[in-house]
Amino acid sequence: MKIVIVGPGALGSLLAAFLIRSKEEVWLLDYNKERSQEIAQSGIKVEGVSGNWQVSPKISADINEIGPADLLIISVKSYDTKQAISAIKPLIKEDSAVLTLQNGIGNIEIITEAIGSERVIAGVTNLGATFIKPGFIRHAGKGETAIGRIDGKMTVKMRSIRQIFNKAGLETKISRDIKGLIWSKLIVNSGINALSAIVRLNNGRLTEFEGTKKIMRETVTEAMRIAKRKRIKLLFDDPLAKVEAVAEATGPNISSMLQDVLRKKRTEIDFINGVIVRQGQELGIPVPVNQVLFDLVKTIEAAYKLTSKEDV
């Protein structure tokens, strides 16, 4: 199976490294030509829970050099999904599958609108990946990946993907309720990511302080009300306990949103807490804590451009 991974960020590079090490045919697609050349020359280095190792990837910014693929994995930031799916259309064959392993809610809808629902596979992953620099990734935590179709159908392509991922050491299962899994991860992310980005603490430290624990619980409680109204079945009976457990289990991890803030990059707040805010408005459910977190992260993003000493 020829695999193209769209986006050489933390997760994309980590997936590529595991699949390349497993002798799969893998290409990385990068919109940045200079960066793709840098990674092509230096390779992908991985450190962390899977050891210290390196692979030599095929990577290009030119889709013509890559050619059509059997599987395309979207691992760009959610705000780049529309542009990414438009760019890779020439790589999609009649029997290709497009798998999204992105944060938040909304990516599936964007991809489906562009290419139809038959080729789209949704997924969630609990792999921990920290971006150090282009081509250098810290494997911060092992975790299961789940894939599935929104309509719950089981396909041969999904079974092939599961087999390839498991062979590569990426523990993967197929779910008939991927929507429930995506919402379950959204609720966990809503409680951790924005808060960690604002207070600039690793995941585990959020549970060490009563103030952050209280905000985390209130954020998750609001998100739970939305999920309940939408009749979405979550993976866990006690989301509050689950979020605290995830924060503690991934203690040393720097959340993806905190990584973005530290690098002064745009965050995925619109696709995480922003989803809770918009759905709350539509359903008439108050979500004041999510609204405050959303507004604060948006302010942090807007302040990147400030250079005055008064704003330091």
Annotated catalytic residues are: 185
3-state secondary structure of 99: strand
CA angle 56, 170, 238 (to 5 degrees): 140
39-68 as b/e, with b when 16 or more CB fall inside 10 Å?
A: bbeebbbbbbeeeeeebebebbbebeebee
Closest by alpha carbon to 174, among 147, 137, 139? 147
Q: Are 69 and 38 in contact (CB under 8 A)?
A: no
Q: Are 30 and 59 in contact (CB under 8 A)?
A: yes
Closest by alpha carbon to 195, among 269, 131, 124? 269
The amino acid sitting at 118 is E
